[in-house]
Amino acid sequence: MVRPKDRTHSKKSKRQRTPGGKLKVYKMPRKKTVRLSCANCGKPVHGTKIKGSSKTEKRPSRKFPELCAKCSKSKILNIALEA
């Protein structure tokens, strides 16, 4: 018997055979939400929302949203010095 809260596709199901020889379905727990991390150094990016928002709201609305503040600052400086 599956509980109503487990009847969702976001939880993966795992079939496991019991010692009695029956197959039982176990619902795995939901995955934890992971903070967006910097593509350059791996530190978490500040200004990102995790739960209860759309994909566009989760990303910061600035130049280089995949980088942390320190890495984006150095990248902007490098671009300015090259020009």
Cα separation, 45 vs 68, in Å, equals 5
Residue 57 lies in a domain: yes
SS3 per-residue string spanning the chain: CCCHHHCCCCCCEEEEECCCCCEEEEECCCCCCCCCECCCCCCECCCCCCCCCCHHHHCCCCCCCCCCHHHHHHHHHHHHHHC
In this structure, is residue 40 part of a structural domain? yes
- In terms of C-beta density within 10 A (0-12 exposed, 13-18 middle, 19 or more buried), how is residue 58 classed? middle
pLDDT at 50: 66
Residue 27 β-bridge partners: 13
pTM over the 0.85 mark: no
pLDDT averaged per 10 residues in sequence order, the chain, 83 residues: 74 87 84 79 79 69 84 93 87
Residue 60 lies in a domain: yes
In this prediction, residue 46 carries a pLDDT of 79
Residue 7 is assigned to a structural domain of this protein: no
> How many domains does the chain divide into?
1
| Residue 38 in domain | yes
Residue 17 in domain: no
Residue 75, pLDDT score: 94
Please check whether residue 61 lies inside any domain of the structure.
Answer: yes
